[in-house]
Amino acid sequence: MRLTTLLTSFAAASLLIATPVLAGDDAKSADGLCTQNHPHRHGHGHRGMRGGMRLERMEHRLDAAVEKGRLSQAQADQFKAELRQLRDETKAQRDAANGQLSDEQRAQFKERARALREKVKAALQATAPATQGT
């Protein structure tokens, strides 16, 4: 008798807790992913758009540098083109290898990305305002 009472109370408590969850939120779709238009969330799950924001952040930084006069628009466009080319090559290699890059390929692409970041950094430092030491 005690087991039946325990199971009944557990079932009732579960339903009470689950009722708001079952009622749902209009912002959630049937598969559980948000369908609202968030500026940085694309509805691809936790790991769906891994490197997408990295490109957008770099482009935003380059645009900000152009606005501040630290880079010319031509330089920024050149860096953006190199960045896109690197991303496209990485994606093509990954697609050709069924989603997995070898350690050597991964290291090569990381080195190229690091070299590109260093090139951007050098271009920004060349036009950085001189600071007065005290």
Contact 65, 76 (CB under 8 A): yes
Render pLDDT for 74-127 as a digit per residue (tens, 0 to 9).
999 999 999 999 989 989 998 998 888 889 999 999 999 999 999 999 988 888
Helix, strand, coil % over all residues of the chain, rounded to 5: 65, 0, 35
**Token pair of 81, please?**
């083109």
Which 3 state secondary structure label does DSSP give 107?
Answer: helix
Q: What is the average pLDDT across 4-24?
A: 76
User: Which residue type sits at 47?
Assistant: R
pLDDT > 90 fraction of the chain, expressed in percent and rounded: 25
* DSSP-derived secondary structure letter, 133: P
**Token pair of 76, please?**
């920024």
Contact 120, 62 (CB under 8 A): yes
